[in-house]
């Protein structure tokens, strides 16, 4: 596990609260607006930041995150730009862990060794690579862990007790539980079912457990935060970004403010969950 991620979860355990993990896509809707959002997320309540690496075929993502990826790609965002964004953020924020989420094709094209070297230098703490199963851990997972970058593994309601040990074998940082069967932002998570799933995962791993997909409101996030170690919210945030744009798809003066207002609202739900 990265030292920064390890330290953050230890701080949260000591405070008896879960982490709030907002997701935004790097370069959405444009580089400057994204950088402004990223810079202000920690003050708005983000404990860990999940930053999407825009990709043209995001198979695990629903319409909202797909649209965010397309906006970022149209703005010219490359994987090199994603890493530069993290490096720039690190000059002002040395503490908030940043997890990159995306797909293997851009990393493979960039070159795995160069990507890991540049990601380490930029201050990346972890990777979520949706389309790289544990059977291919030699490709990226193991080199990432050797570089000090956590490799966060996804599990889902369909990951049974036979498959789970293989999925968790080289996982590090935390385990990401996908709370619905399907793509991001299309259903709501059932908090009772999530609690059962989190309890089952805890019997298999000592890693923190984050829950995402299907969490859109402060109330839903609070319900998840009572049992999981982190609640991840993505589609609701990128939808707010989209709804703030002008008719030409450009950021407006409201884009950052509206998005941060939602982040603060959901963060308050997560941070107050165990005291309510």
- Residue 151 above 80 pLDDT? yes
Inter-residue contact 139 to 111 (CB < 8 Å): no
- More confident position, 189 or 61: 61
When computed from its CA atoms, the radius of gyration of the chain, rounded to whole angstroms, is 17
Q: What is the pLDDT of residue 61?
A: 81
Model confidence band, residue 217 (pLDDT cutoffs 50, 70, 90): very high
Q: What is the pLDDT of residue 97?
A: 98
Q: What is the pLDDT of residue 214?
A: 82
Q: What is the pLDDT of residue 110?
A: 98
Catalytic residue at 32?
no
Q: What is the pLDDT of residue 60?
A: 77
Least confident among 18-32, 38-52, 79-93, 205-219? 205-219
For residues 270-274, give the mean pLDDT. 94
- Residue 184 above 70 pLDDT? no
- Please identify which of the residues 30, 50, 125, 229 carries the catalytic annotation: 50
For residues 40-54, give the mean pLDDT. 98
Q: What is the pLDDT of residue 185?
A: 57
Give the tens place of pLDDT for each residue, 228-238. 999 999 999 99
Q: Is the omega angle on the peptide bond into residue 77 within 30 degrees of 0, that is, cis? A: no
- Please identify which of the residues 61, 125, 137, 229 carries the catalytic annotation: 61
- The span from the CA of 60 to the CA of 113, in Å, is 25
For residues 66-79, give the mean pLDDT. 96
Catalytic residue at 196?
no
Model confidence band, residue 63 (pLDDT cutoffs 50, 70, 90): confident
Q: What is the pLDDT of residue 2?
A: 76
Model-level pTM? Answer: 0.94
């Amino acid at each position: 596990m990265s030292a920064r991620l390890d330290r953050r979860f230890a701080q949260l355990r000591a405070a008896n609260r879960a982490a709030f993990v907002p997701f935004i896509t790097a370069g959405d809707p444009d580089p400057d607006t994204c950088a402004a959002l990223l810079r202000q997320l920690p003050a708005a309540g983000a404990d860990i930041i999940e930053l999407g690496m825009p990709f043209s075929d995001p198979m695990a993502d629903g319409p909202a995150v797909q649209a965010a990826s397309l906006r970022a790609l149209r703005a010219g965002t490359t994987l090199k730009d994603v890493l530069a964004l993290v490096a720039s953020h690190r000059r002002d924020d040395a503490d908030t862990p940043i997890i990159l989420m995306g797909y293997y094709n851009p990393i493979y094209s960039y070159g795995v060794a160069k990507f890991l070297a540049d990601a380490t230098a930029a201050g990346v703490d972890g990777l979520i690579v949706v389309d790289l199963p544990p059977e291919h851990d030699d490709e990226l997972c193991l080199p990432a862990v050797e570089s000090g970058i956590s490799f966060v593994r996804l599990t889902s309601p369909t990951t049974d007790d036979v498959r789970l040990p293989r999925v968790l074998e080289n996982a590090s940082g935390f385990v990401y539980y996908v709370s619905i069967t399907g793509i991001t932002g299309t259903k709501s998570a059932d908090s009772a079912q999530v609690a059962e799933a989190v309890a089952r995962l805890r019997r298999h791993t000592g890693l923190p457990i984050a829950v995402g997909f299907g969490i859109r409101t402060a109330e839903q996030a609070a319900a998840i935060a009572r049992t999981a170690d982190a609640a991840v919210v993505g589609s609701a945030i990128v939808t707010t970004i989209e709804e703030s744009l002008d008719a030409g798809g450009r950021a407006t003066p409201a884009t950052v403010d509206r998005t941060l207002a939602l982040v603060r609202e959901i963060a308050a739900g997560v941070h107050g969950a165990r005291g309510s």
